Structures are given as structure tokens and as C-alpha cells.
Amino acid sequence: MIREFFKKVSTNNPKFNDFLDKYNLPKAYFAINRRAVTRGLLVGLFWGFIPMPFQMLGVIITTPLMRFNVIIGLATVWLSNPVTYPPLWYLEYKTGNLILGKPGLENVELTMSWFQNHWDEIVVPLYVGTAFYSTVVSYLIYLFVNWLWIKSVHKAKRAKS
């Protein structure tokens, strides 16, 4: 399962350790264990759901606060990209309207002038939906992957005995 995939990737490579030593990078930021990988996923999804520029910078700023696999965090941010922005933001907008109990806008036009004229009606539901996905959904995915990892460890132990 998921654990076996990361088990193949090793940070015990001498060239990799030389690279970390050369640039004075902590090994904990590249660790491949359950906590580091699932936290990296959590942080990456959290920032990835937020409609803002420089989401990867958010991951980097979060790095000293939580020890996680930075590569996983940076890669997960890219789940939201220029191709996935419109459906993701629309989903966040609709979810925000649902949470706020608002009907939402009808007859949406995909023009800059329409968005500029309706920005005040869009921004609050969008960011309420964003808050929901950034906190609740990213945490639920974190718990699910954590559970899968633990299940994989138990399965491997049963197979050995």
C-alpha cells in the first residue's frame, strides 16, 4: 500500500546526505515516515485549497512550525493548479453558500467585468468554503492516510508471522 511506496525511497543515500549537509538542511524535512508524510500531506492540502498566489511559499513558511516532509507538502499544493482552479473554486463557492444559507449567484458569465461587478457577492462565500476545505477536509484526508499507513504496518506484521 502507501507505506511500501515510501519504503522504497530512502534518505540513507550518501549523495543525498551530502546534499543536505552542504546546504545545512535538516533531515527531518525529508524524512519518510508516517508522521512526516501525513503532516506534509495535511500542510500541502491546507495551502492548496486556499485561492491565493504563492501557495508553495505558505508551505515553506509552515515548515519550521511543524516537522513534515517538505517535498510531499510542496507536491500536494500542486493538486490545485490552473487546470483545477475553476472547479475547485466553484466547489468552495457553492459550499460557502451552503454553509451561509445563501442561494448564490445565477447566470454566471466567465468575463472579467462580470467578476469585478460581483466580487463583493463572491468573496465571502468563496472564503467560507475555502476555510471548510482547508481545515476540515484536509484534516479528514490526513486522518484517512494515517489510518491507511497504520493498517499497512499491521498487515505487513501479520504477513511476517
In whole angstroms, how far apart are CA 23 and each of 17, 58, 67? 10, 21, 18
Distance CA 134, CA 141 (A): 11
* pLDDT the model gives residue 71: 92
90-107 pLDDT, tens digit each: 999 999 999 999 998 888
User: How does the average pLDDT of the chain come out, rounded?
Assistant: 88
Q: What is the pLDDT of residues 109-157, one digit of tens each?
A: 878 898 899 999 999 999 999 999 999 999 999 999 999 999 988 998 9
Is the CB of residue 124 less than 8 Å from the CB of residue 96? Answer: yes
- Sorted by sequence, the CB contacts under 8 Å of residue 11 that are 6+ apart come out as 17, 27, 30, 31, 32
pLDDT for 2 equals 58
Q: What is the pLDDT of residue 49?
A: 94
- In tens, the pLDDT along 57-95 reads 999 999 989 889 999 999 999 998 889 988 999 999 999
- Residues 130 and 51: beta-carbon distance below 8 Å: yes
Q: How far apart are CA 152 and CA 128, in angstroms?
A: 35
Model confidence at 7, pLDDT cuts 50, 70, 90, reads low
Tens digit of pLDDT for each residue in 127-136?
Answer: 999 999 999 9
Give the model's pLDDT for residue 156: 87
What mean pLDDT is predicted for residues 23-46?
Answer: 90
Give yes or no for a contact between 22 and 53, defined as CB atoms under 8 angstroms apart: no
- pTM of the full structure: 0.85
Give the phi and the psi of residue 73 in degrees, each rounded to 5. -60, -45
